[in-house]
Amino acid sequence: MTPVLDVSDLRVTFGGRVAAVRGASLQVAQGETHCVVGESGCGKSVTALAIMDLLARGASRSAAHLRFRGEELSAREIARLRGDRLAMIFQEPMTSLNPAYTIGSQMGEVLRRHRGAGRREALDRSAAMLARVGITAPELRLAQFPHQLSGGLRQRVMIAMALLCEPELLIADEPTTALDVTVQAQILRLLQALQREMGLAILLITHDLGVVARVAHRVSVMYAGEVVESAAVGDLFAAPAHPYTRGLLRCVPVPGETPRDHPLGSIPGTVPRLGPDFVGCGFRDRCAHAIPACAGVIPRQGDAHQFLCRLPPGWTETRAA
Amino acid sequence: MNVRALSGFAGVAVVGLVTAAAIAAPWITPWDPFAQDLGARLIPPAWMDGGSAAHLLGTDQLGRDYLSRLIYGARISMMIGVLTVLASGLIGITLGVLGGFFGGLVDDVVMFAITCRLAIPLILVALTVVALVGSSLTVVILTLGLLLWDRFAVVARTTSMQVRTLDYIAAARAAGCSRTNIVLVEVLPNIAHHLIVVATLEMALAILLEAALSFLGLGVPPPLPSWGLMIAEGKDYMFFSPWVIVIPGIALFVLVLGINLLGDSLRDLLGGRAAR
Amino acid sequence: MSAAIEIGDVRRVFTAGARTVRAVDGVSLSVAEGSVMGIVGESGCGKSTLARLILGLMAASSGEILVGGQNLAEMDRRARARLIQPVFQDPYSSLNPRRRIGGIIAQPLAAQGMRRGERAARVREMLAHVGLDPGMAERLPAQLSGGQRQRVAIARALILHPRIVVCDEPTSALDVSVQAQILNLLAELRRAFGLTLVFISHNLAVVEHVATEVAVMYLGRIVEQAPVADLFAAPLHPYTRALLASVLTPEPGLGVPDVGLGDTLPDPSDIPPGCRFHPRCPEAVARCRTEAPATRWSGARMVECHLADFTSSSPDKTAAAHPETA
């Protein structure tokens, strides 16, 4: 079955100097949630924006191929499909919803544009979708403005808006980061339920490894513009291969497991900003296992569980004295 | 980008030139701007028929050299501009920061003061003042300085209200700093760039207002070579000796334009750096 | 051991026109010397307002706060600064962008009247403690990363050697790997300086790692308080249980739990009658709608809930026992 989204060797450079994405490849199958996880500056949000062709001016984007359901996505194609078969939701529901217009008029705009729906039909379908995402009294909400809703409700409205045209792919950029933790759980469950009902493919961008573990089917770990590891979620957490992934997992405290009086694992140094001509492993300045060869071309190892490192799969830590 | 840079340079060039001319006036003027020569009245500028190299910009209706009067007029304009901005800036920034930073009752009082000020008609006040104390350069500077502070106050108030909510202000209070120290060291430097832009705009406004007042006879008294006054005095000769009003008119236009361009480019420059 | 902080039925009300927001609505808390008091809660719970009250940055509408045994409201600003200092959440707005790092860190010293020469030496010493180069003193905040800025904020907080440091979400705006560095630094400095910490966070996993005691806030009150191990092993209040259930640990295969709370959003300007949690509580009974629960204590544990029972521990939320430290 052709994947819903197939991206190969995506590259994005800003102003010719900062290489935000340096060759990212990933695939999302129907009904699957693919999480892209990484810290700030790794290029995960830029990847999402690049796929949707929403990058700011001054960004140049290129890819070996960028396919939606097997067809190449040209800029014109994307513009036609955006909001229709490809949808995106963002982190801050307040700034993604226009505060000057009611919920109803914003949702109605989507239906009018893509489905040519009339006003009455648009309202009915919007109300139905709001109910489907678990919003009570949807007709009341349609007449309200974004500031009258809580963060969790606004995010549900965003999801409803994104799903109005029954898209095949939903790209969610940190959809729960700005929400309270109890609301986050509800929103994630909602996304899972909708995925089951609609066979939706979800590309979920996040920095939270907990979210990844609980919702993802496949995971791509990004660092400094590259996908450094990519695997099924169980494999990634059970046997992380890349030193960055291992380091990242050690940084997260787990109640009941992480010993209290010991320091948390941490990764020394900070994320670098790399130019487009950078060669070698972007992690080498922070890696305990770096050798001179890491400045050269790094092999991409593995098949279903891929990682970008010269170390052999299943390598073990050598403890320095 | 290039247009912006060019206009920025133009602004700096104009203002720089005029300031330099104003400062160097005693040394660079070819004639005494007050010296009348009734035998040499209304000589056209050097490039027109009948002009001569002795008077590059011609003479006015009393035979005074126009170039010299223009340069001394620059002095008056710049003095008005700078001194008015200093006075109104002091008043406006103090009021604005007090209201914006302290809020509550203090802010209510400041807002009321600003509203009152906005209700005052400038020309009528100038008329009254002149009727009471007569017109002079000092009177003009004082009148404008005591009336043009509203924009300073509004901008200072808004920006200090924004800064007040930032964590570094809370940290300064927790560190035990006095309120005065916080306003001077933490707030003012972070709103200064907005205020500098306002200052350039107010300067342009003050210069234009002075010209208008002098034109109406409410500003600088003759024989001082204020550009506005020069236009007023020359309007009777407008049709036969148009240079008498055109030259100071162009000078005003160029100076005010230059100041505005300077203000724009300062806003871009300082605003950009502060945004980072 | 005497309490480092003693909060007695403190309230803080904000009025905006017709709306009255009861941000802190009767909080009583005692923070023991040398402990780490974790305060958890979601938006609208009042934890940030409580932080500002404890720091003396805001006056309480009623109630008393004692810091180091002295009444906070009567302390002069310099004495208070020597006792208690903050570390805020946003490293990008907690440092004055127009000042150099050295000046920022030295600010509390200057406020105490220390002379310039002495200040420079103390700043250098503090930079070393937080793991920054002495050359950093000449830089501007814009030149530093988020993690470095937070280190500067910590240096500024500690330069007067205060007894208490109030950390308001100190790592929430940082990347995971940087968060770990900062948490480790805080733990190290706490031991080195003998600090008492008040650690406010919405991230329960982090709180579990750093705190010795935890207070759970909801709509302006503390609804449960316990030593950290007890709280995580056997939470008593339904809200605490919901919070703990929502913690998504990086363990695949467990799915996303159904936390079971309703969709009503907590609004401090419209606090429900009876138990303030009842509109969202999956276990609410009739009594909860009309009668506010009393504050009940048992040893070091406190809870405000009609249904909570100190003797039984809830069966559906037990974490593994803490591994003993080496």
Average pLDDT on A52-70 reads: 89
Of B178, B186, B276, the CB nearest to C96: B186
- Quick check: B245 and B228 in contact, CB under 8 A? no
Question: Based on the structure, what is the number of domains in chain A?
Answer: 2
Residue extents of the structural domains in chain C: 3-303
Is the predicted pLDDT of residue A35 greater than 60, yes or no?
yes
Cβ–Cβ gap C153/B173 under 8 Å = no
- Quick check: A49 and A86 in contact, CB under 8 A? no
pLDDT in tens, chain C (326 residues): 578 999 999 999 999 888 899 999 999 999 999 999 999 998 889 999 999 999 999 999 999 999 989 999 999 999 999 999 999 999 999 999 999 999 999 999 999 999 988 999 999 999 999 999 999 999 999 999 999 999 999 999 999 999 999 999 999 888 888 999 999 999 999 999 999 999 999 899 999 999 999 999 999 999 999 999 999 999 999 999 999 999 999 999 899 998 878 767 788 888 999 999 998 898 989 999 999 999 999 999 999 999 988 875 544 444 433 343 33
Judge if A72 and A104 occupy the same domain: no
> Considering only alpha carbons, which residue of chain C is nearest residue B177?
C111
> Which ipTM did the prediction report?
0.87
Give CA–CA dist B263/B276, Å, rounded.
20
Chains A and B touch (3+ CB pairs under 8 A): no
Give CA–CA dist C304/C295, Å, rounded.
5
Residue A242, by phi and psi: left (phi above 0), alpha (psi -120 to 50) or beta? beta
Average pLDDT on B87-109 reads: 95
Largest CA distance in chain C: 67
Give CA–CA dist C171/A253, Å, rounded.
13
Residue A32, pLDDT score: 95
Residue B275, pLDDT score: 41
To the nearest whole angstrom, how far is the Cα of A2 from the nearest Cα of chain C? Answer: 26
Domain that holds residue A12: 5-85+168-278
Residue C320, pLDDT score: 39
Q: Which of A132-136, A215-219, B63-67 has the highest mean pLDDT?
A: A215-219
Number of helical H runs and strand E runs in chain C: 10, 12
Token digits of residue C181: 């560095």
DSSP letter assigned to residue A292: G
Supply the DSSP string of C85-118, one letter for each residue.
EEE-S-TTTSS-TTS-HHHHHHHHHHHHT--HHH
Cβ–Cβ gap C88/B171 under 8 Å = yes
Cβ–Cβ gap A270/C178 under 8 Å = yes
Of all residues in chain A, the percent with pLDDT exceeding 70 is: 99
- Quick check: C6 and C65 in contact, CB under 8 A? yes
Q: Which of A45, A140, A180, A248 to mutate to test the interface with C (most CBs of C within 10 A)?
A: A180
Q: Which CATH class is domain B2-275?
A: mainly alpha
Give CA–CA dist C197/C229, Å, rounded.
18
Is the predicted pLDDT of residue B271 greater than 70, yes or no?
no
> Considering only alpha carbons, which residue of chain C is nearest residue A260?
C209
Give CA–CA dist A280/A266, Å, rounded.
23
The crossing angle, in degrees rounded to 10, of helices A119-132 and A151-163 is 120
Judge if A265 and A178 occupy the same domain: yes
Give CA–CA dist A55/A14, Å, rounded.
10
Residue A320, pLDDT score: 44
Token digits of residue A18: 């900062």
**Which of A34-38, A112-116, B87-91, C34-38 has the weakest average pLDDT?**
A112-116
Q: Which residues of C215-252 are buried (b: 16+ CB within 10 A; e: fewer)?
A: bbbbbbbbbbbbbbbbbbbbbbbbbbbbbbbbbbbbeb
* Residue B223: cis peptide before it, omega within 30 degrees of 0: yes
Q: Which residues of C159-177 are buried (b: 16+ CB within 10 A; e: fewer)?
A: bbebbbbbbbbbbebbbbb
State the residue for tokens 């400095």.
C189
The crossing angle, in degrees rounded to 10, of helices B227-234 and B188-215 is 20
- Quick check: C246 and C257 in contact, CB under 8 A? yes
Is the predicted pLDDT of residue B266 greater than 60, yes or no?
yes
**Inside any domain, residue A302:** no
Note the helical H segments in chain C: 47-55, 77-83, 101-112, 116-129, 146-158, 176-193, 204-210, 228-233, 238-246, 286-290
Q: Which residues of C touch B173 (CB under 8 A)?
A: 57, 77
Is the predicted pLDDT of residue A192 greater than 90, yes or no?
yes
Q: Which residues of C touch A216 (CB under 8 A)?
A: 252
Query: Domain C3-303 classified CATH 1.10.287.1120?
Result: no
Give CA–CA dist A311/A287, Å, rounded.
12
> Considering only alpha carbons, which residue of chain B is nearest residue C143?
B276
- Quick check: A233 and A1 in contact, CB under 8 A? no
Average pLDDT on B77-96 reads: 94
Higher-confidence residue of B81 and B47: namely B81
- Quick check: C258 and A189 in contact, CB under 8 A? yes
Q: Which of A75-79, A153-157, C8-12 has the highest mean pLDDT?
A: C8-12
pLDDT digits (tens, 9 = 90+) for C197-249: 999 998 999 999 999 999 999 999 999 999 999 999 999 999 999 999 999 99
The CATH number linked to A36 is 3.40.50.300
Judge if A60 and A122 occupy the same domain: no
Is the predicted pLDDT of residue B274 greater than 50, yes or no?
no
SS3 B58: coil
Residues comprising chain A, all counted: 321
Give CA–CA dist C126/C101, Å, rounded.
12
Residue extents of the structural domains in chain B: 2-275
Which residue from B164, C263, C44 is spatially nearest to A137, judged by alpha carbons?
C263
Residue B126, pLDDT score: 83
Give CA–CA dist A179/A207, Å, rounded.
14
Q: How confident is the model at residue B276 (pLDDT cuts 50, 70, 90)?
A: very low
State the residue for tokens 């919702």.
A215
- Quick check: B264 and B10 in contact, CB under 8 A? no
Is the predicted pLDDT of residue A319 greater than 70, yes or no?
no
Token digits of residue C184: 């480790």
Of all residues in chain A, the percent with pLDDT exceeding 90 is: 47
Residue A79 half-sphere exposure toward CB, CA atoms < 13 A: 4
Burial class (CB in 10 A: 0-12, 13-18, 19+), B138: exposed
Give CA–CA dist A37/C250, Å, rounded.
12
Give CA–CA dist A5/A50, Å, rounded.
13
